Amino acid sequence: MIVTGCEKTKLPLHRPVTIIPTVNELVSRYRKEEMPERGSTRRGYEVWIKNHILPRWGEARITDLQPYPVELWLKSLKQLSPKSQSHIRGVLSILWTLAMRRGDVPTQRNPMELVKLKKAKKRRRRVLTATEFQSLLEALNGDITLRTLVLVALSFGLRISECLGLKWKDVDWMNGTLNIERGVVKQIVDDVKTEESARSMSIAPELIEVLKDRKQASQFSGPEDWVFASPAKLGRLPMSYSYVWERLGEAGKAAGIGHLSSHCFRHTYRSWLDSEGTPVGVQQKMMRHADIRTTMNIYGDALTDDMKEASQKIARIALGRA
């Protein structure tokens, strides 16, 4: 039989069939190609993926993850806080975006944006007064290591991971600066939280003396040694966060100011900067916040003197010499 040109056009066209990937497959791609490198961030993502997402949606196609079914499922996870449920939704949104970017599914509005969840209650941020902080220092008089850590945390507004990540080589005694270069989370050395977090901070003369006393009293005082080295680990690692958390709780009760978290020092630092009349732009620079980088960059590095003055004020308040 001879097929004419006209009849040829009536033959069915064979188009490639797009195979919609499963959540398992997308998770594998995400782990290889896009999972954040920072250890603590990766661990957080893996918790949501292993414990919740894969057990429920692993074999499902990504297109099965539609707003209403996902919303009902998240609400059924009553053991999780609204904030945790929101984190899980965020990971699902990342997987949807990955599928669209790779062309596995048509580009569209991310369905996870339509998932409604109960808003998490804002936690009350604990801010210490100068008097309360002095009471805490008195309660820590018998523990020079933790007392110094608390002073450093508040005087620079450092995260606890950044405090534990300090090495003696980070202290520039001649120029009076402290370099923030790394963090330690669950005894794993990692990068600081953001690029803006890595910064050189001015050390008040009074605080330099505190650090010198700490260095002289420590059996681990080499350049590569941890400032807050753990004797139990023979100096190979800094103190553990769990130890710091427990001792802070005990000291807070002894000082009559109740339970304390390590992050309250960062909140207190910002509050004290504000109460001392530190310009907002300087505060943002000293807090090393990544999400307000543009604002900070407007001021550039011309704020060095203002930052040094503000740092000295906070250290003096912390040491009770204001």
Number of domains in the chain: 2
Q: What is the pLDDT of residues 161-212, one digit of tens each?
A: 899 999 999 999 999 999 988 888 888 887 766 666 667 888 999 999 999 9
177 lies in the same domain as 213: yes
Helix (H, G, I), strand (E, B) or coil at 234: coil
pLDDT band at 11 (very low <50, low <70, confident <90, very high): very low
Assess if residue 11 is contained within a domain: no
Pairing of strands 182-185, 188-191: antiparallel
- Report the candidate in 104, 115, 197, 113 with the shortest Cα–Cα distance to residue 159: 197
Residues contacting residue 216 through CB under 8 Å, at least 6 positions apart: none
Looking at the fold, whether 160 and 302 belong to one and the same domain comes out as: yes
Q: Do 210 and 135 fall into the same domain? A: yes
Confidence (pLDDT) at 281: 72
End-to-end CA distance of the chain: 102
Count of residues making up the chain: 322
Query: Can you tell me the distance from the alpha carbon of 176 to that of 255, in angstroms, rounded to the nearest whole number?
Result: 31
Whether residues 69 and 109 fall in one domain: yes
Output the average pLDDT for the chain. Answer: 84
* CATH number of the domain where residue 27 is located: 1.10.150
Among the candidates 114, 138, 156, a domain finishes at 114
pLDDT of residue 306: 67
91 and 179 share one domain: no
Closest by alpha carbon to 193, among 153, 225, 160?
160
Contact residues for 191 (Cβ-Cβ < 8 A; gap 6+): 37, 38, 182, 183, 198
Residue 76 lies in a domain: yes
pLDDT of residue 95: 96
CATH of the domain at 286: 1.10.443.10
Domain that residue 281 falls in: 130-318
Q: Mark whether 209 and 106 lie in a shared domain.
A: no
- Identify whether residues 176 and 312 lie together within a single domain: yes
The answer to the question of residue 12 being in a domain is: no
Share of the chain above pLDDT 70, in %: 85
Q: Is 122 a domain residue?
A: no
Q: Give the Cα separation of 97 and 103 in Å (integer).
A: 10
Report if residue 3 sits inside a domain: no
* pLDDT tier for residue 294 given thresholds of 50, 70 and 90: very low
What is the token pair recorded at 186? 């669950």
**Separation of alpha carbons 268 and 60, rounded Å:** 47
Confidence of residue 300 (pLDDT cuts 50, 70, 90): very low
For residue 276, pLDDT over 60 is answered with yes
Q: Kindly state whether residue 2 falls inside one of the protein's structural domains.
A: no
Task: Answer with the one of 114, 142, 166 that is the final residue of a domain.
Answer: 114
pLDDT at 150: 94
Evaluate whether residue 7 is within a structural domain: no
Mean pLDDT of 284-305: 53
Does pLDDT of 1 surpass 60?
A: no
Please report the beta strands in the chain, taking only residues with DSSP state E, as ranges in sequence order. 171-172, 177-180, 182-185, 188-191, 199-202
How confident is the model at residue 131, as a pLDDT? 93
Do 82 and 218 reside in the same domain of the chain?
Answer: no
Query: Are 49 and 193 in the same domain?
Result: no
* Section 86-112 average pLDDT: 95
Distances (CA, A) of 318 to 130, 132, 133, 312: 7, 10, 7, 10
Greater confidence (321 vs 74) lies with: 74
